[in-house]
Amino acid sequence: MTLETIYVTRHGFRSNWVVKPDGEYIASIPSPTGIPSDPALASHGVFQAQELAAHLKTIDPPVERFYSSPFYRCLQTINPAVEAVSLQTSDIETHKIRGENGLGEWYGTARFTHPNPAEPALLKSLFDRYDENYHPVIRPNENGEGIEELHDRTAYALHKIIERSDMEGVKTICICTHAATLIAIGRALTGRMPENIAEEDFRPFTCSVTTFVRRRSERVEFPRSEWGGPGTAVPGISWREGSGVGGGWGVKVNGDCSFLSGGEERGWRFSGDESFEPIQLDAGSGLGVVIEGKKKLGHLSTPSRL
């Protein structure tokens, strides 16, 4: 058996943080991990996560493995879904969250060091379903990445996850990540890198679900190059020009929000900027464009600062 379906979702509405000119991160609301740039979900985001869980509990084909960015907002978003789905299967691996740094947040290049996610032991104390035994396949550069570097890092993480899924005989996985990374995931899977980096090709609304279906049913041979650790280059993965990671994937559903009472909220796209400058609310506001999308009638909008 090989992996056939990948569901990708983005974390829900979250609290904010800011960066001072010297690169110090600060937040008005303390983070559960003690890392200012690792905020928890806002109350609306918690509600979105509950709606996402109800949806993923009934989705077909069912989820067999959960992967997530190790940042708190992503783990908090996907945790209710893992709890809900775990009630339907005795497969213990489906009851866990695999924290993969290669699926983590995108920070543009900077003259200072960006914060890393919390260590596994702390995350395990906060989320009982966090898998301490899972080892991330790659970690982003602590000084940030250009847009091309983000896509290559994401492609490498995906090829390792797909390879592992094929070996485990897993047919369906779910990934929880961030806006920029979700777009990069879509491009790496489909093999399409637009000429205009700011093109709105994938739709990363908060807690939306994008579904990818594999083009090939046979097992794909993967390159044997391995990431060498921090400070080393990302191994090259041939995914551009329509190839796609793991043989290529088609898009069945793009940014589905039909199960969310608020509809499409807080989307995002690249602006073309790659350098992370202080005095920005976050990487999203500094490096991209927020897209509000179509809200459902009668829904009260959450304040734009969240």
**Structure tokens belonging to residue 134:** 């899972």
pLDDT tens-digit readout, 90-114: 999 999 999 999 999 998 888 888 8
Question: What DSSP state is assigned to residue 263?
Answer: B
Query: What residue type is 259 in one-letter code?
Result: F
pLDDT of residue 169 exceeding 60: yes
Query: What residue type is 193 in one-letter code?
Result: M
Q: Which of 9, 13, 16, 8 is nearest to 283 (CA)?
A: 16
- Name which of 81-85, 171-175, 236-240 the model is least confident about: 236-240
Residue 248, phi-psi category: left (phi > 0), alpha (psi -120 to 50), beta (remainder): left
Distance of CA 155 to CAs 235, 239, 270, 287, Å? Answer: 10, 7, 18, 20
According to DSSP, the β-strands at 5-10 and 172-177 are parallel
Quick one: average pLDDT of 278-293? 68
List the domains of the chain with CATH numbers: 5-291 (3.40.50.1240)
Local confidence band at 298 (pLDDT 50, 70, 90 cut-offs):
low
Quick one: average pLDDT of 132-156? 94
Local confidence band at 12 (pLDDT 50, 70, 90 cut-offs):
very high
Local confidence band at 33 (pLDDT 50, 70, 90 cut-offs):
very high
Give CA–CA dist 288/166, Å, rounded: 34
pLDDT tens-digit readout, 198-218: 999 999 999 999 999 999 755
Q: Which of 288, 112, 99 is nearest to 202 (CA)?
A: 288
- In the three-class reduction of DSSP (H, G, I as helix; E, B as strand; rest coil), residue 71 is classed as coil
- Tell me, what's the pLDDT at 26? 80
Q: What is the mean pLDDT of the chain?
A: 89
Local confidence band at 219 (pLDDT 50, 70, 90 cut-offs):
low
